[in-house]
Structure formats: structure tokens, C-alpha cells
Amino acid sequence: MPDKDIRRFDANIRLFPPFIDNDICPLTINNTLLQSCYLRNTEWACGVAVYTGNETKLGMSSGVPEPKLTAMDAMIDKLTGAIFLFQLTVVVVLGSAGNVWKDTEAHKQWYVKYDYDEPWYQILVIPLRFELLCSIMIPISIKVSLDFVKSLYAKFIDWDEEMYDLENNTPAHAANTAISEDLGQVEYILTDKTGTLTENKMIFRKCCVGDTFYGNECGDALRDVELLNAIANGSPHVIKFLTVMTLCNTVIPIKSPSGSILYKAQSQDEDALVNAAANLHMVLVSKNGNNAEIHFNRRMIQYEILDILEFTSDRKRMSVVVLDCQSGKIILLSKGADEAILPCAYSGRQTKTFLDAVDKYAQLGLRTLCFGWRELESEEYTEWSRSFKEANSALNDREWKVAEVCEKLEHSLEILGVSAIEDRLQGGVPETIEILRQSGINFWMLTGDKQSTAIQIALLCNLISSEPKGQLLYINGRTEDEVARSLERVLRTMRITSSEPKELAFVVDGWALEIILTHYTEAFTELAVLSKTALCCRVTPSQKAQLVKLLKSCDYRTLAIGDGGNDVRMIQQADIGVGISGREGLQAARAADYSIGKFRFLKRLILVHGRYSYNRTAFLSQYSFYKSLLICFIQILFSFLSGIAGTSLFNSVSLMAYNVFYTSIPVLTTILDKDLSEKTVMQNPEILLYCQAGRLLNPSTFAGWFGRSLYHAIVIFLITIHAYANEKSEMEELSMVALSGSIWLQAFVVTLEMNSFTFVQLLAIWGNCIAFYVINFFISSIPSSGMYTIMFRLCRQPSYWISLVLISGVGMGPVLALKYFRYTYRPSAINILQKAERSRGPMYTLVNLESQLRSDKGNMMVPISTTPVKNKSSVYEPLLSDSPMASRRPLASSSFDIFQPTHSRTSHPRNIKAN
């Protein structure tokens, strides 16, 4: 049956005569070419189309993605709803008032010639006319404008050179153009570790072979003289160790024309191991089908790879069965996580050295792998091989059956040693996290890695602080009760200390999380609300997604960032998904709303692009309501002077042009508005709070705009009808005076609300005013139009210009005074920073200054490696001493105390973490 899991394909093939070998052969995903794959390194491929069209894996997994709605859009929708209710009220009130007026007054007005015996439905006419008049109250143009600016926000992200990853030549990309504002409102960031915070560029650093630790002194085993000597002397342990490094993988060597060998590995760990082995003179030269060729100290060794016992996230290890072509021995080579390999050691073997090694390496933030070796009897292998093939051909539960069979072979291993691979922190990660945390964003790290590694990485990248500034709380336990008690205790601590200026964080592992998510969701939700930081270790992709869902259900806006296929679900679940187009492929980047090249770009994405987008949209949307309400209020006021009959003061052409043209163009230039320079925002990331809390678009700011539009409508209306009273009160003239007044006022309002003016804005705002006159002159010169000669006539009248200046003065004076008063005496943080920014330099802040400062800031971000930071000397102690290992011996090499029983460090190819 077709399914959408691209990591699985269970089938069999049987070739019928004339083929001789007509056994059932298992087919797996390795034999499958997925849709839109490119063939590389081969001339041809022979295949059968299994599924086509919508039954392909691609077709199956391309579900209808849930359209994401930003919090801002939701707010705009809410406000639209409120305006709609207001509109209905107006229609009902004025409609019935109009009907009353008609019955009492209009029947006396003989010139209106109302019939006394009208059909009943005439009662609906006046309300419907008001509905028509008020229909522009909800600006249709807002949707168009928003779509336009949103696509530009996205373009700005695409274009941004400061988010261009020079290393991999990838620009940032906004796949979802509709949710840029949400970036400015992020409250929780859920981040993956490997490949996201770290570079996912594995470097073999240390190893422990037999009882000897290599690479401790110089920090690089490849340059450790001792190890090189051991290799030269042919120490059997070391050679076995190297053999596992070279063979126990799925790496494909490719000989380049120049003679050097390149390795194609699916997992960064394997790549690192094979390369390290090559550097240690054990070179994997070629792999042709089942034959592997190894050069070791100028000797050629041939192996035949008999079986590969693949890695799965449940097994956490992989093995290879090889046949040594010279000696004819069949050997099992295993590598995997410590907890997956060490229990398989042959009985009687002391594994304490290795446990210690794993412990030690994990504390340094290194990824560890244990290597095992066993010689097989040929009978044992033959027997096992049959059952393995059987399991591999199974159509049901294949994965489980294979795992069971593999288990049978992987025992009584001779443990060879432990390798430690460094995964360096990406450049700028600690700074980025620091700034984002300062801006009030809470960070959760969700990783498939083990607890101690996660904590080390978290410490290194500023995610958690060590004692006494910070405190780490543990939720663990194997059973439901233990977890419940642990959770309760953490929660209590959290409640007590929430008032203290202490950075609390909690750590939970996948097992406990599973129990919590099924049984104690409520308590955990409370904890999630209280806690700013959390580390979740050993979590599966679906748990990641569940956590995102949980935070979302508390009405937090979440951003999930990750790089691998295991993050896809979390990325899709979150309000905003950010993918890092990194070494684990583009799976995450493709599923995400935004893809960036490096984690540190997240800072700019949120603080610069998100914040500006939010501010701009806040202004744009409220302004759109303002201008629509303005014209509506004028119409409503006019209806009181026109017998509440629903006469439109403005002609239809003006109304249309007002909404579509005169008032839409200038405000669109808000996309260039910057309230604060990027530099100031970066220096004061706390300012993001205004966006997070939605301070710029909420019912109360909207009420301000509503009041402003009402005030402006009254000003325009009163001045117009008084200045154009008596002999001047001609309909078309008066309507144009009112319209001109609205245009003038809106130009001033846009000017007042903008913070920075580029020539585009000045051009749009004042060019629009000129365009207004040009257009109306044009219309006024068409004899058949109702407005014929009106505009020329008006522009010749001094009273027209006098009225407009008066409208502008009266309309803007109080608004300006109020804004000034707020700005100076009740300043928001934004205002203060604006003032600081502007008083620092000349009024004309030139951009090159800004960019210069920006480049300075860029220099600050020196990449930091994962080696422990020396100045962090404070001892890290847990508050709860429930952990038996709480007071372990401090390690000389590390300044951090370790508080948890550190088992080992798993890392395995691809980090697949199947869900």
C-alpha cells in the first residue's frame, strides 16, 4: 500500500525465469528512487514504476497545509468584526431614525413627493441606503494593502544580505509570505540542538582505546603522538578500533580524478570517523558492491561486507558483518550509543573505563560512540543470515522483526573503545540567544541528545546560567508516580522563586515527558507558563510537535527552529517554523516558513524583520480603518443635514478613488518606515516587548484611531458646512471641499505617524496630494461628468484654500499636541530610544553611518567553539538533591559540576529519531 513515510518501503521482488536466481528478494527504501530524484554517479538505473501520481510518497505527504494566521491578522479580524457591529448599529439606528423622519417630516415636504400608501418593504429602503453608505466602513483595501506589504516583507528577508550565508551561499528565504508580523510577536522559541545551535560539522577529537585515553593533552587525537606510535607498532586494539571506524558505516568513497578520495556519508558522524581513520593511515579506498578495500600502512586489505544491520533510533546502534578476505574470518563490527553497546559486552568484561570515558567526553560537550567487535563462527553466521533475510523480506512489522534478529547477533562484543566527536557551536549562537532572551523570548531546547550533553550545550550558548544566577530543576523518573512527584516538586520551587530575579530552567527527558504529556498536562502547562527556559532531552519528533502544540494552546506564539527531518513536525506545528538549511539536508528548510543559513540570523529575522513588519502592519491596518471611518463619519454627519435619507455627500467616483487610490498609496510606503534604527534595536532588544505584547495594535490603540477619525470627520464637516454656507452651499463644491479636507488631513496623519522619511515616502505622500488635484482637474474638465468645472472653480476661490488650511490646522493641532505631550512626558520606551538616537547625531542620519556601525557589530560576533569558557567558574549545583549523583567529584578539566548520572552519549548517523 502506498504510504507517505519516505524512510520506509517494504516490498519483495521475485524474478521469474529466464532469471536463474528466482528467490524472493527484499526491497527496502534503499532500492527505491523517490519522485524528483536526480541520478548521480551512475550512467543508468533500471527500475519499475511502483506508484504514480498522487500515490507517490511525495503525493501522499503533500497534505493541505493548514493556513497560518498571524496573531495580528486575528486581531485585525476581531477589529473588523467590531467595526461590522458598529456599522450594523449605525445602520439600524440611522435607518429607523430615517424612517421616523420620513413619516413625520418628509411627508410634509411636498417636493419629495412621498406616496402615502407605499408597499411595506419601503421601510427597508432607508436602512439599506445607510448600509450602502457605511459599506466602506470596513476597508476592503486593507486586504490588498496587507498582502502587498507582506509580500514585500518577505522579499526584504530574501534580499537581506546580512542574513546571507556566505559559507554555503544560501540567502535567507521566506517561503510563507504572510506571517512576517508574527516574527515580531514571538514569545517562545523551540530550538533543536544538533545542526541548529551547533554546526553539525563533526570533528573527531578524542578517543579511548582499550584503557588508554588519546587526545587528552593536545585536544586532538589525530595529532596525539601516543596514538600514532600505537598505530605504527600495530597495537591490535587500535587496529581493530580503526577497522570499525572505517568499515562500520554506510559511507561511499568516491575517487576524484585527481586521485584523492572523497567520502559521501549520510551522517556527519560517519563522515568524521572515516576521515579521521584515513588520517590515521587506515584509508577506505573503494567500496564496490559488497567489496571494501582498505589501505593500511601501504598494505591492501580486502573485506567483503556480508550484511549491514542498520541504525534505527530504537536500536541506537548499527553493525556490519564483514568477511576478511585474507584470513576468511567473519567479523561483526558494531558501533552505537554507549547504552546500546556496553550492555552487549561479553560477560566478565569491565566496562567501567569506557563508562568513565563516555562520562568525561559528554561533559565536554562531545558526542560519543562506542565501538564493539566480535568474531563469528561461520555456522552461527549462516544460520543467522537466513533468519535475517527472512525478516528483511517480511511485509508486516519488518522493522521490528529485523531489530529482533539483529539483537541475536549483537552480543558478547569485545568493547574496543569510545570515540568522541566534537560538534562545534555555530558562530554567534550565545550572543543570539542572549539578545533574544533579553528581548523577552523564552527558549526551549528540544533535543534528541542526552541530558548531560544538552545541559553542556545549553550552558555554552547562554541558554541557562550557572549558579548562583540560574538554577536548573530536574523532572525525571521512570514511573508515573516518580514523575508526578518530581513534577510537583519542580512546580512548587518554580512558584516560590518566580518572584526572585533568578533564571530558572527545568530539564525533562523524553521518558518523563511522555508520562507527563499523557497524564499531567495541566501541571506541565502551568510549569511551561512559569518557566522561561526548558531543556527537553531525548525527545522524539512527535514529542517536539506536542510541546509546540502545548505552548500554542496556552496562547503563546511559538517559533520552532530546526534543521533536520526530525524537526519537520515541530516546524509545521509551530506558529512560525524556521528551518536552517544545513548539513542534514533541506527537509526542514523546505517545510519551514522561513529558512536561514545560520542560527545567528534568527536574531535579525526576529528583531529587525519581525519587529519592523509588526510596526508597519500595525500602522497600516489601523490607518486603513481610520481613513475608511473618516469618510463614513462625514457621510453619517451629512445625513443629519439631509433628512436622514442616506444621501451620499461624495460622488461615486470620488469614493472609489478615495479608498483605492488617494489613501492607499501613501500609506504603503510605511514599508520603508523605521521607528528605530536596526542598531538601536539590537542594542535594546527589550524593545521587542512592544511587539510581543501587541502594544501597537490592540483595541485601545484602535480606539485612539477611531476617536481620531471621528474628530477629524467632525472638524472637516463643521468647517466645510460653515465656510460653504448660504450661497456657496452647492452640493458638488461642498463635497469636493470635504474630500480635499480628508486628503489633506490624511497626508498629515501619515506624515505624523511615520518616523523616518526616505524620498519614496515624501514622494508618495505629497505626490499623492498633487495627484489628487491632477485627477480632479482631469475629471473636472470632462463636460459630461457631474464634477464638470468644479475643481477649477474651487481652486480659484480663496475661501477653498483658507478652509483647507483651517481644516489642517484644527485637525492636526490637537493630534500633534497630544502626540508631543505623550512623546515628551509619557514616553514609551520606543520614544525614549528615538530621542536618544536622534539627539546623538545630526538630524539627517545618513545610512552609511548606520551601516558602519552595523559592521562593527558584526565584528563582535566572533565564532565561539564549544570548548568550555574559562570565566564561567561558578559551580553549578542543583537545588534539589534528589539526584544521587548530585555531589560527584568535580572534574579537573571542566569547571562545571555535573549533577546527573551521565550515562553516555549517543549519537548516531543521521539522528533519525524515528517517531
Partner 1 sequence: MEEASTSASGGRAFPRARSGLYYRFTQQNLPAWKPAMTSGCLIAMFLIIGVAFVPFGLVCLHASNHVAEIIHRYDVDCIPNGYKGNKQAYIKDSSISKNCTQEVKVLNHMKAPIYVYYELENFYQNHRRYVKSRSDKQLRYGEYTGTSCSPVEWDNGHPIVPCGLIAWSLFNDTYSFTCGSKEIKVNRKNISWKSDREHKFGKDVYPSNFQNGSLIGGGKLDPAVPLSEQEDLIVWMRTAALPKFRKLYGVIEEDLQVEETITILITNNYNTYGFGGKKSIVLSTTTWLGGKNDFLGYAYLVTGSLSIFMSILFALIHVKNPRPPGDPNCLSWNRKNSSS
Closer Cβ to partner 1, 36 or 396, answer by number: 36
Judged by CB under 8 A, the stretch of 376-384, 539-547, 638-646, 899-907 that binds partner 1 is 638-646
Residue 262 binds to partner 1 (criterion: CB under 8 A): no
Runs of H (alpha helix) within 306-428: 338-341, 352-363, 378-393, 398-409
Nearest distance in Å: CB 341, partner 1: 28
Closer Cβ to partner 1, 291 or 756, answer by number: 756
Enumerate residues 695-754 that contact partner 1 by CB under 8 A.
Answer: 719, 721-731, 733-735
Enumerate residues 659-688 that contact partner 1 by CB under 8 A.
Answer: 672, 674, 684, 686
> Is 897 one of the annotated active-site residues of the chain?
no
Nearest distance in Å: CB 866, partner 1: 26
Contact status, residue 850 vs residue 837, Cβ threshold 8 Å = no
Enumerate residues 498-517 that contact partner 1 by CB under 8 A.
Answer: 501
Closer Cβ to partner 1, 585 or 868, answer by number: 585
Nearest distance in Å: CB 859, partner 1: 18
Q: At how many degrees (to 10) do helices 699-723 and 611-641 cross?
A: 40
Total chain residues near partner 1 (CB under 8 A): 114
Measured CA to CA, the distance from residue 619 to residue 614 in angstroms comes to 9
Between β-strands 198-209 and 212-214, what pairing exists: parallel, antiparallel or unpaired? antiparallel
Residue 850 binds to partner 1 (criterion: CB under 8 A): yes
| DSSP state string for 108-142 | T-GGG---SS--GGGGGHHHHHHHHHHGGGS-SHH
Look at residues 173, 172, 177, 175 and name the one whose alpha carbon lies nearest to residue 151. Answer: 177
Closer Cβ to partner 1, 408 or 728, answer by number: 728
Considering only residues 4, 14, 143, 155, which one is a binding residue for partner 1 as defined by CB under 8 A?
Answer: 155
Considering only residues 106, 186, 688, 696, which one is a binding residue for partner 1 as defined by CB under 8 A?
Answer: 106
Residue of 192, 307, 423, 449 with catalytic role: 192
Residue 649 binds to partner 1 (criterion: CB under 8 A): yes
Considering only residues 589, 605, 618, 630, which one is a binding residue for partner 1 as defined by CB under 8 A?
Answer: 589
Nearest distance in Å: CB 688, partner 1: 11
Residue 434 binds to partner 1 (criterion: CB under 8 A): no
Judged by CB under 8 A, the stretch of 480-488, 527-535, 838-846, 887-895 that binds partner 1 is 838-846
- How far is the CA of 346 from the CAs of 210, 235, 317, 338, 413, in angstroms? 15, 21, 17, 14, 5
Considering only residues 839, 859, 871, 873, which one is a binding residue for partner 1 as defined by CB under 8 A?
Answer: 839
Nearest distance in Å: CB 87, partner 1: 19
Nearest distance in Å: CB 648, partner 1: 8
At which residue does the C-alpha cell 506558529 appear? 575
Closer Cβ to partner 1, 125 or 869, answer by number: 125
Strand partners, 582: 585
Considering only residues 52, 89, 382, 824, which one is a binding residue for partner 1 as defined by CB under 8 A?
Answer: 824
Measured CA to CA, the distance from residue 302 to residue 306 in angstroms comes to 13
Residue 120 binds to partner 1 (criterion: CB under 8 A): no
Closer Cβ to partner 1, 596 or 769, answer by number: 596
- Map residue 32 onto helix, strand or coil: coil
Considering only residues 645, 795, 853, 914, which one is a binding residue for partner 1 as defined by CB under 8 A?
Answer: 645
Measured CA to CA, the distance from residue 579 to residue 560 in angstroms comes to 8
Between β-strands 330-336 and 366-376, what pairing exists: parallel, antiparallel or unpaired? antiparallel
Considering only residues 15, 24, 218, 817, which one is a binding residue for partner 1 as defined by CB under 8 A?
Answer: 817
Nearest distance in Å: CB 614, partner 1: 15
Residue 836 binds to partner 1 (criterion: CB under 8 A): yes
Contact status, residue 122 vs residue 107, Cβ threshold 8 Å = no
- Greatest alpha-carbon span in the chain: 121
Measured CA to CA, the distance from residue 598 to residue 600 in angstroms comes to 5
Contact status, residue 263 vs residue 202, Cβ threshold 8 Å = no
DSSP 669: G
Measured CA to CA, the distance from residue 249 to residue 308 in angstroms comes to 9
Closer Cβ to partner 1, 180 or 419, answer by number: 180
Residue 339 binds to partner 1 (criterion: CB under 8 A): no
Considering only residues 9, 156, 599, 748, which one is a binding residue for partner 1 as defined by CB under 8 A?
Answer: 156
Nearest distance in Å: CB 687, partner 1: 9
* Torsion, Cα of 157, 159, 162, 167 (10° steps): 110
Judged by CB under 8 A, the stretch of 160-168, 271-279, 380-388, 460-468 that binds partner 1 is 160-168
Closer Cβ to partner 1, 207 or 807, answer by number: 807
Long-range CB pairs of 19-26 (<8 Å, 24+ gap) are 24/393, 25/393, 26/389, 26/392, 26/393
Enumerate residues 568-587 that contact partner 1 by CB under 8 A.
Answer: 581, 585-587
**All three cell numbers of 232:** 605504527
Residue 843 binds to partner 1 (criterion: CB under 8 A): yes
103 contacts: CB under 8 Å, gap ≥ 6: none
Residue 161 binds to partner 1 (criterion: CB under 8 A): yes
Measured CA to CA, the distance from residue 150 to residue 569 in angstroms comes to 25
Nearest distance in Å: CB 94, partner 1: 12
Considering only residues 56, 170, 621, 622, which one is a binding residue for partner 1 as defined by CB under 8 A?
Answer: 170
| DSSP state string for 568-615 | HHHHHHSSEEEEE-BTTBSHHHHHSSEEESSTTHHHHIIIIIIHHHHH
Closer Cβ to partner 1, 260 or 839, answer by number: 839
**All three cell numbers of 594:** 522561513
771 contacts: CB under 8 Å, gap ≥ 6: 661, 662
Measured CA to CA, the distance from residue 751 to residue 503 in angstroms comes to 43
- Chain-centroid distance of CA 329 in Å reads 52
Residue 468 binds to partner 1 (criterion: CB under 8 A): no
Closer Cβ to partner 1, 25 or 829, answer by number: 829
Neighbours of 107 (CB within 10 A): 14
Enumerate residues 359-418 that contact partner 1 by CB under 8 A.
Answer: none
From the CA atom positions of the chain, what is the Rg in Å? 36
Closer Cβ to partner 1, 109 or 553, answer by number: 109
Nearest distance in Å: CB 579, partner 1: 8
Measured CA to CA, the distance from residue 398 to residue 8 in angstroms comes to 10
Residue 108 binds to partner 1 (criterion: CB under 8 A): yes
Considering only residues 69, 85, 660, 847, which one is a binding residue for partner 1 as defined by CB under 8 A?
Answer: 847
Enumerate residues 34-73 that contact partner 1 by CB under 8 A.
Answer: 34, 36-38, 40
Residue 803 binds to partner 1 (criterion: CB under 8 A): yes
Nearest distance in Å: CB 251, partner 1: 15
Rounded to 5 degrees, what angle do the CA atoms 702, 703, 706 make? Answer: 90
Considering only residues 411, 549, 819, 888, which one is a binding residue for partner 1 as defined by CB under 8 A?
Answer: 819
Q: At how many degrees (to 10) do helices 141-159 and 71-101 cross?
A: 160
At which residue does the C-alpha cell 556601525 appear? 853
At which residue does the C-alpha cell 519516505 appear? 6
Enumerate residues 598-637 that contact partner 1 by CB under 8 A.
Answer: 612
Enumerate residues 758-797 that contact partner 1 by CB under 8 A.
Answer: 758-760, 783-784, 786, 788-789, 793, 797
Length of the chain measured in residues:
915
Type of residue at 75: M
Measured CA to CA, the distance from residue 460 to residue 799 in angstroms comes to 71
Closer Cβ to partner 1, 315 or 604, answer by number: 604
**All three cell numbers of 178:** 504572510
Enumerate residues 20-39 that contact partner 1 by CB under 8 A.
Answer: 34, 36-38
Residue 13 binds to partner 1 (criterion: CB under 8 A): no
Judged by CB under 8 A, the stretch of 108-116, 486-494, 599-607, 742-750 that binds partner 1 is 108-116
Q: Active-site positions?
A: 192
